[in-house]
Amino acid sequence: RRVREAVVSTQSTGRIKEEAERAKHYLDSSSEGPITGVVERELISVHMKTIVEMENSGVVYMLRNDKQEDLRCMYGLLARVDEGLSCMCNAMKVYIRECGKTLVDSEGDISNTIAYVQSLLDLKERFDLFLKNSFCNDNMFKQAICSEFEDIQNQNSKSPEYLSLFIDDKMKKGNKGLSEQELERVLDQTIVLFKFLQDKDIFERYYKQHLAKRLLNNRSISDDAEKNMISKLKTECGCQFTCKLEGMFKDVNISNTVNENFKSKCKNRSGEASSSAASSGSTVDLNVRVLTTGYWPLPPCKIVCNLPKEAEMAFKSFKKFYLEDYNGRQLNLQPHLGHADVHANFNHRKEGGEVTTKKHILQVSTYQMCVLMLFNRQVTYKYKDIVVESNIPEKELKRALLSLSVGRVQQRVLLKSPKSRDITGDDEFSVNDQFSSKLFRVKIQTALGSKGESDPERQETRQKVDDDRKHEIEAAIVRIMKARKEHEHNVLITEVTGLLKSRFLPSPSSIKNRIESLIEREYLVRSPNDRKVYMYLA
Amino acid sequence: TVDGRCKVREAVVSTQSTGYSINALIFSWRLGVVVQGQITREEFTNGLMALGCDSVDKLKSRVSQLDNDIRHPTKFKDFYQYTFTFAKDTGAKNLGIEDALRTWKIVLAGRFSHLEDWCTFIAQHDRRSITRDTWNLLLDFASTINSDLSNYDEEGAWPILIDEFVGWLRPRINTSTS
């Protein structure tokens, strides 16, 4: 069957050549064209659809099995007749669509986000090769490939998030040692996928979140690698998005300097007045990052929680120092970020009744630190009391407590009774004195999904994106109307869409919605003569 | 004269005793009444002068002819747009659904083939108020769009609420004709 197909192909080419030769010999040269035409029509056109779609030897088969040469042969053949290439191109499109669908359907499992994006990249690369080796860089095929990949990207609403997670994975330290060149190549490929995304603003939001985490937790490979990626994005979508990102880097650098100054000042102070050591809060080794509100993805309202006294004093001391230089600014602690190294003594009770003290350093989040420090005051706590004492938002508190008590076995620093995975008011927590670990420094993971958001979180993000979009659409409308003074409805919609296209695709109804809102707020008014024309009110 | 004014007030009250009626609305419109239920002295005197009524009898006969005032489409349009301002709370920007429905039923009676459907649609919609723009454009809709909605253009810059109405109405029309 496949052999038959290839043979048909070469036979056809052979036959065509034969007839052309024969025609040249026996007939007037003017007959060559028509005769070749007849042969082509008979051999190719009539049968091409069948040949292209043949199950075990058609285009799809060849694509699936990487038969680049055979495809090239067929391409050459079909190029001779009208509709030949579009026939082949359509078959290719169908195949890509199929591949895409399989991919999208299989990504149900969250831990597969990286694999999902990688498969997409691999698929694109395969077709880049086909384009080059089999389809002679034919523009029609090129465009068809692009449009199919665009569809695949935009069918899956999580594409923007997943793409950002993929890049996040590549940008983190300890990443299977990709060489600089390899990393560059992968990032360029991701840019191609980025271009296909319709919802670029959603990608931006996730990218910002993930970048912030990398910077704050010191997990980036290097500043240069990050900046390189950002400049690639800048080339694609302008600097509106990227300048905020650059602000984040600035903050980190300035923070490092401020930190150093603070520490040296503390050292000097504690050297001078040893009698008043208590006042400088120097029992805590503090490292501070100062974030400028506009640049970082921070929650809108202030989060408060009760810090342990020592931490509170350390922070106060820093605040005083900082505000001396930057008078007029407001510093707010962000307890949902940040981490702490806590010294812990566990009183192991051996079988014979002997008690030894095991020391560890626990690397925990700020919230976890607040919780743990409570146990210096009291041996057991009921959950509802911890809620009151710590003042930590309950969702975060539960997460912190669960990760300390019923998470991974090597991290069970606290005991919980009952041992269930959910928490109610009267559940009791106490220190797990029998805690042991081979490591001196024990890192406690918060049960944070590093791979993707939970669905409720996704909805929240989506809501924020929709709100932002409303503003962007309005801004676009006002900008256009201010310039034009008067504009017809459909033309306005087209222009607004064009203006926003590089960030997201606004639906005509969402634009209409904003127009109506602007009319209600008397920024726009309908022309008295024509309902379809809007006028700008200064 | 004091007498005259009292009598006029009676006449006005008696015409308005039909409650929220079209005549009451037209009368208020001609008088240029701004606040529903209250007529200022100025509105009263100037309005009556404009109507050419300097006696109670003239007023009575004039009131019975109020229909004429809105005969011409341009006049009606002006009147219709006025009723939005009249019906809503003075400070508010938009008109509450209840008042809107009440007013539509009076002023658009006989002028909008789908008035009943429209009122049903609005009553069960989750919008709680009507904007001036939507109010005004409903008249355009009522006067220009065919009963079978055949000439409705989805891209015709109609307010979204009217688009939604058409979407809601279309299947109902189709089932009743087929």
A166-176 pLDDT per residue, tens: 998 888 876 66
Which pLDDT band holds residue A206 (cuts at 50, 70, 90)?
very high
Q: Smallest Cα–Cα separation from A235: which of A208, A195, A207?
A: A195
Q: d(Cα A393, Cα A429) in Å, to the nearest integer?
A: 18
Q: Does the CB of A494 have a partner CB in chain B at under 8 Å?
A: no
pLDDT of residue A451: 55
Report helix, strand and coil shares of chain A as percent, to nearest 5: 65, 10, 30
- Residue A231, SS3 per DSSP: helix
Which pLDDT band holds residue A36 (cuts at 50, 70, 90)?
low
pLDDT at A277 over 50: no
Q: Does the CB of B153 have a partner CB in chain A at under 8 Å?
A: no
Contacts (Cβ under 8 Å, ≥6 apart) of A429 = A380, A381, A382, A383, A386, A401, A405, A414, A415, A416
pLDDT of residue A10: 60
pLDDT at B1 over 50: no
- Residue A361, SS3 per DSSP: strand
ipTM exceeding the 0.85 mark: no
How would DSSP label each residue in A49-70? HHHHH-TTTSHHHHHHTT-HHH
Q: Does the CB of B88 have a partner CB in chain A at under 8 Å?
A: no
Q: How far is residue A267 CA from its own chain's centroid? A: 42
Contact A434, A423 (CB under 8 A): no
How would DSSP label each residue in A381-399? EEHHHHHHHH---HHHHHH
Average pLDDT over residues A44-49: 67
- A519/B131 CB distance under 8 A: yes
A47 versus A216: the higher-pLDDT residue is A216
Question: What pLDDT digit, counting tens, does each position of A66-117 carry?
Answer: 888 888 888 887 777 777 788 888 888 888 888 888 887 776 554 578 888 8
Q: d(Cα A421, Cα A34) in Å, to the nearest integer?
A: 81
pLDDT at A536 over 90: yes
Contact A234, A187 (CB under 8 A): no
pLDDT of residue A353: 81
Average pLDDT over residues A223-242: 86
pLDDT of residue A90: 86
B13 versus A169: the higher-pLDDT residue is A169
Q: Smallest Cα–Cα separation from A345: which of A358, A356, A354?
A: A358
Least confident stretch, A15-29, A305-319, B28-42, B140-154: A15-29
Q: d(Cα A188, Cα A202) in Å, to the nearest integer?
A: 20
Q: Does the CB of A358 have a partner CB in chain B at under 8 Å?
A: no
Backbone angles phi, psi at A385, to 5 degrees: -75, -35
Looking at the DSSP bridge assignments, the partners of residue A441 are: A361
Which pLDDT band holds residue A12 (cuts at 50, 70, 90)?
low
Average pLDDT over residues A504-513: 92
**Residue of A511, A518, A520 to mutate for B, most B C-beta atoms under 10 A:** A520
Which pLDDT band holds residue B39 (cuts at 50, 70, 90)?
low
Question: What pLDDT digit, counting tens, does each position of A181-205 carry?
Answer: 888 899 999 999 999 999 999 999 9
Contact B25, B104 (CB under 8 A): no
pLDDT of residue A110: 47
Supply the pTM of this predicted model. 0.75
Q: Is A452 left (phi over 0), alpha (psi -120 to 50) or beta?
A: left
A56 versus A437: the higher-pLDDT residue is A437
Structure token pair of residue A209: 């979140």
- Does A418 sit behind a cis peptide bond, omega within 30 degrees of 0 on the bond before it? yes
Average pLDDT value over all residues in chain B: 80
Q: d(Cα A423, Cα A399) in Å, to the nearest integer?
A: 10
Residue whose pair of structure tokens reads 């743990």 in the numeric block: A372
Beta strands in A311-394, from DSSP E residues, in sequence order: 339-349, 355-365, 380-382
Q: Which of B93, B140, B160 sits opposite A516 (nearest CB)?
A: B160
Average pLDDT value over all residues in chain A: 83
Mark which residues 462-491 of A lie under 8 Å from B by CB.
489-490
With contacts defined as CB-CB under 8 Å, which chain B residues touch A520?
93-94, 131-133
Segment holding A84, helix H or strand E: helix A84-106
Q: Is A41 left (phi over 0), alpha (psi -120 to 50) or beta?
A: alpha
Q: d(Cα A34, Cα A407) in Å, to the nearest integer?
A: 79
Q: d(Cα B166, Cα B164) in Å, to the nearest integer?
A: 5
A69-83, A415-429, A434-448, A467-481 — most confident range: A467-481
Which chain A residue has its CA at the smallest distance from B153's CA? A532
pLDDT of residue A515: 95
pLDDT of residue B116: 93
Average pLDDT over residues B107-112: 88
The sign of the torsion formed by the CA atoms of A168, A170, A171, A174 equals: positive
Average pLDDT over residues A142-155: 90
- Residue A363, SS3 per DSSP: strand
pLDDT of residue A1: 42
With contacts defined as CB-CB under 8 Å, which chain B residues touch A512?
157, 160
Question: What pLDDT digit, counting tens, does each position of B60-99 carry?
Answer: 677 667 777 778 888 889 889 988 988 888 888 899 999 8
Least confident stretch, A93-102, A215-224, A514-523, B47-56: B47-56
With contacts defined as CB-CB under 8 Å, which chain B residues touch A527?
none
Q: d(Cα A308, Cα A313) in Å, to the nearest integer?
A: 9
pLDDT of residue A514: 95
**Residue of A531, A532, A535, A537 to mutate for B, most B C-beta atoms under 10 A:** A531
Q: How far apart, in Å, are the Cα atoms of B6 and each of A21, A467, B10, B30, B39?
A: 115, 58, 6, 20, 14
Q: d(Cα B82, Cα B75) in Å, to the nearest integer?
A: 11
Please state, for a pLDDT cut of 90, what percent of chain A lies above it. Answer: 28
